Structures are given as C-alpha cells and as structure tokens.
Structure 1
Amino acid sequence: MMTGRLILIFAAVSGFIFVALGAFGAHGLSKILDAQQMAWLRTGLEYQGLHTLAILALGIAVQHQGNIWFQRSATFLALGTILFSGSLYWLALSTTKMWVLHHANRRLLLLNWLGTSASWCFAPE
C-alpha cells in the first residue's frame, strides 16, 4: 500500500511521463505510426492524464486525512493506470497485440473507480 508521500511522488512521475510521451508522440511518433496507433497512443495519454489528477487528489486527501480507503483507492488507481494506459501504449508501439490484457485492464480500471467512490463514502467528514 502506498503512503501519502509515495502517492504524490507517483502522481508527479506519472505527470512527467504524460507530458514527455505526449510531446514525443506529437513531434516524433506521429511521423512513423499509422492513424490507429496514434489513436491508441492519444487514448492512453488521455486516461493517464485524467487518472494522474485523480491520484494527485487522493494523495492530497491521504496527506490531510490519513484515510486507509484513500490509500487503497490511490494504490489501485495507480496500478490500473499503469496497466490500462500501458496496454494502450503497447498496442500503439508494438507489433505484438495483446487484446486480452487490454480488455482485462479496462475492467480493472472500472472497478478501481467503484472502489474510489466507496472510499469517499467511508471517509470521515
């Protein structure tokens, strides 16, 4: 389980990767990837960017409230983001397609959001 500090570090690193990969995709990869591969890359970046912000918010909440539910939620959202966006990056950049893993990761990310909503329900007021 990630501590509040580790959650915030993860969010910062994820944000860096989001910006760096987005810039590399726009200025370098767009010349060598086809339209479908670029769409997978963009989708992965969109999900990573949005989830990075959610993880950052949960990290701040953990720092202020120390709620175990926020910690669990942030940990699983981080894992889900790595797996889901990572599988989209894999589809975009690799010749080996792993559709089964991508679909499983999508379901995991959806379950993570249900867990996040539960963490807010159980959070002290």
Structure 2
Amino acid sequence: MKEYRYRGKRILDDKWIYGTYMKQGNNHFIIPKVNKNGYAKCIAVSKDTVSKFVISMNNEAWFEGDILEQKYEKWLGIIRDFVDEYVITRIEKGNLINFDIDSAGAFRRIGNRWDNPELVEELEKGE
C-alpha cells in the first residue's frame, strides 16, 4: 500500500486527492506525484480539508479528521492533533477523553468529518 503524507478535496470537483501538500499565498495544493523529469502537477484543494497522514492501520491510511469506531465497545472517536501528538478523541458527557494513537488496533475507520457529518453529530452527542 502506498502511503501519502497529505490529502485534500479538490476544489474543481470535491474529490479526494493524495500526495504532498504545498501552500502558495492563500492557495493550497496537493501534488500527487513528480514525474521523472522533476515536474509536478499541483492540484488546488480546499484549505479546510487538508489533513495529514497519521498511521497505517488495517491495510489503509488514516488521516487527521478520520472517524473511528472502537471495535468492542462501539463508541466513536476522531483522530486529531493534540499538541503535536496524534490522539483519538472521544467526547463523553461533554468532556474530551484522549486515547493514545498506539491503541489504534482496537478501532476501525468508518469515515471522516468532511464526508460524514452525521457521524460527527453522533460523536459530539457524547452519549
């Protein structure tokens, strides 16, 4: 499985693109690959969707903003950067509870905060 460092949604058609992230002025780009001559195609992405690769788990790449389901207890969490250390955050009765990303094996990825707002709503209920 090829691992990319970043992802973002293309401005043109709202589809995910994976690669290297670059910012120029107020514009944000993902560069999917560089050809053998050193040239790269920069694809404009929405700033709010740019997310960094965190971990490879269950044969897939997980990024910031991915929503995870705890396999055994069935509660939801979201991957976020917490002071330069990635954590899985759960909301319980209005409180944030952080889990070390090293426990990611107990989770499965079920979506992300951009494509699955209904999961974010469920996560924020914190029941």
* Bigger strand share: 2
Question: Which is bigger in relative contact order (C-alpha 8 A, separation at least 6)?
Answer: 1
Query: TM-score of the superposition, structure 1-length normalised?
Result: 0.31
